[in-house]
Amino acid sequence: MSVTRLLADIEQLGRDRRSGGYYRPVFSAAELDLRSWFIAEAERRGLDVTTDRNGIIWAWWGEPQAGSVVTGSHLDSVPGGGAFDGPLGVAAALQAVDVLRERGVQPRRSLAVAVFPEEEGSRFGIACLGSRLLTGKLSADRARSLTDQDGNTLADVFAAGGLDPNHLGRDDEALGRIGRFVELHIEQGRGLIDLGRPIAVGSSILGHGRWRVSVQGQGNHAGTTAMSDRSDPVVAAAEMVGAVADLAEQIDDARATVGRFEPFPGGTNVIASEVSFWVDARHPHDETTRALVTRIEEACARIAAARGCTVAVTEESWSPTAHFDAGLTRELTELLPDAPVLRTGAGHDAGILAEFAPSAMLFTRNPSGISHSPEEYAEDADADHSAVALADVLEGMLR
Ligand code: HGY
Ligand code: MN
Ligand code: MN
Ligand code: MN
């Protein structure tokens, strides 16, 4: 069954009418439907499916054992996300199993297709939550303390999803089974368009982190408070957001984004008492990202003082620059000689796993060059071609 056909089966799940894209936060009704879809497709292929203590779904061809080959990606999305970020890698893995079966491949080691929860961090704020729990990069206690924007705790949400929140955390047994990990993902930039190629091999992931900026001011009445009497945290925060962009623009290859900005209490005729906004900062060199964030903190302090407000900047998550396994990457480029080697500015579970098992990535051309948006897409031919390329890669590892 082709990738296109597989993705067509889920194209209505989690549609977000307002954005025209998708919103599939972890353990939402949409993501639970996607989990059911994946489990049904995996079982249809005779794979043995289990969901582990951290909510990762493993679909096994062969006994779960050390040194297995693992592929897969995620099914959750950002708000207003596209149809391919995550699901393409999962659907391609399912099609790769079909291709290997059609070729009569008898694996000499086990293969698992894995689906990692909360890769986007859209619900609880920490990207790659599932792979961080699996590897211990995120403690179970910290995870349990997280809440979503409606105040639901991760513990309650995971319990509602059928997991025991007291059982979250590093899973050496599951981790020990990963001999090699390969994630196929839609490209989230223009590399393959500019090179005119359908597939790339990944080299590295830019280090990236998320910082919460909380600005406190004086809530008051919009009509009875003279401008000279205000400590308006929205005005201060707006200047800070401008400073974030200005500072990032001064550093080659740096990226800093404010995509979430929340005044409280949020009334039209109310001067806010506080504003929270989040900075996503990235750069190929981790020390440069850190230096940029320091400059942002200094600018925020200066602006807050000038506006009669106070400000606090707290790091919420950090992923150092991840380099994929050189030997595995070389193997992929030898198998796929036409595929260029590209770094990516987007985070992936493969970036977390790279520290624990030889990991690599394949990227599929995205003619829009846009991602985290409904405009993201892959041509059917490129999607199917990359699933066959994934099958070629897996066959080499399974023989
Ligand atoms: O945000 C990222 O880089 C990834 O898409 N989670
Ligand atoms: Mn993704
Ligand atoms: Mn993404
Ligand atoms: Mn990913």
SS (H, E, C) 175-190: HHHEEEEEEEEECCCC
Write down the residue that tokens 């009445």 correspond to.
Answer: 221
Cα–Cα nearest to 174, from 70, 37, 327, 40: 70
CA 113 – ligand 1 centroid, Å: 20
CA 166 – ligand 2 centroid, Å: 27
Write down the residue that tokens 């199993």 correspond to.
Answer: 97
> In the predicted model, what is the mean pLDDT of residues 26-54?
98
Q: Answer yes or no: CATH 3.30.70.360 is held by domain 207-319.
A: yes
For residue 181, the ligand closest to its alpha carbon is 4
Q: How far apart are CA 119 and CA 155, in angstroms?
A: 17
pLDDT at 309: 98
Residue 341 near residue 201, CB atoms below 8 Å? yes
Cα–Cα nearest to 155, from 55, 58, 49: 55
Cα–Cα nearest to 343, from 354, 379, 334, 335: 354
Ligand 1: which of 22, 210, 372, 376 to mutate, judged by most atoms within 8 Å of the beta carbon? 372
Q: How far apart are CA 63 and CA 78, in angstroms?
A: 34
State whether the beta carbon of 126 lies less than 6 angstroms from ligand 1: no
Output phi, psi for 180, to 5 deg: -150, 150
Going by the annotation, the residues of the binding site for allantoate are 210, 269, 282
- Of the pLDDT bands very low, low, confident and very high (cuts 50, 70, 90), residue 399 is confident
Q: How far apart are CA 232 and CA 218, in angstroms?
A: 6
Compute the chain's Rg from CA coordinates: 22
pLDDT tens for each residue of 138-160: 999 999 999 999 999 999 999 99
CA 392 – ligand 2 centroid, Å: 22
Neighbours of ion ligand 3 (CB under 5 A): 85
- The DSSP string of 336-376 is STT--EEEESS--HHHHHTTTS-EEEEEE--TT---SSTT-
Please, what CATH class does the domain formed by 3-206+321-397 belong to? alpha beta
Give per-residue burial for 323-335: e unless 16+ CB within 10 Å, then b: bbbeebbebbbee
> In the predicted model, what is the mean pLDDT of residues 12-20?
96
For residue 121, the ligand closest to its alpha carbon is 1
State whether the beta carbon of 89 lies less than 6 angstroms from ligand 1: no
> In the predicted model, what is the mean pLDDT of residues 45-50?
98
State whether the beta carbon of 281 lies less than 6 angstroms from ligand 1: no
Sign of CA dihedral 198, 199, 203, 206: positive
pLDDT tens for each residue of 320-336: 999 999 999 999 999 99
pLDDT tens for each residue of 103-117: 999 999 999 999 999
- Of the pLDDT bands very low, low, confident and very high (cuts 50, 70, 90), residue 171 is very high
Predicted confidence (pLDDT) at residue 1 exceeds the cutoff of 80: no
Give the position, in ligand 1's atom list, of the atom nearest the Cα of 280.
Answer: 1
Residue 287 near residue 275, CB atoms below 8 Å? no
Angle CA 84–89–94, to nearest 5: 120
- Kindly list the domain boundaries of the chain, sorted by start residue: 3-206+321-397, 207-319
Cα–Cα nearest to 56, from 137, 168, 147, 155: 168
CA 349 – ligand 1 centroid, Å: 9
CA 299 – ligand 1 centroid, Å: 26
pLDDT at 127: 96
Q: Which two tokens stand for residue 176?
A: 């020990």
- Of the pLDDT bands very low, low, confident and very high (cuts 50, 70, 90), residue 204 is very high
pLDDT at 14: 97
Cα–Cα nearest to 110, from 173, 65, 58, 44: 65
pLDDT at 385: 96
End-to-end CA distance of the chain: 23
Ligand 1: which of 132, 188, 361 to mutate, judged by most atoms within 8 Å of the beta carbon? 188
For residue 72, the ligand closest to its alpha carbon is 4
Type and span of the H or E element at 157: helix 154-160
Going by the annotation, the residues of the binding site for Zn(2+) are 74, 85, 120, 185, 372
Residue 378 near residue 364, CB atoms below 8 Å? yes
Quote the crossing angle between the two packed helices 233-249 and 286-306, to the nearest 10°: 150
CA 65 – ligand 4 centroid, Å: 24
pLDDT tens for each residue of 259-317: 999 999 999 999 999 999 999 999 999 999 999 999 999 999 999 999 999 999 999 99
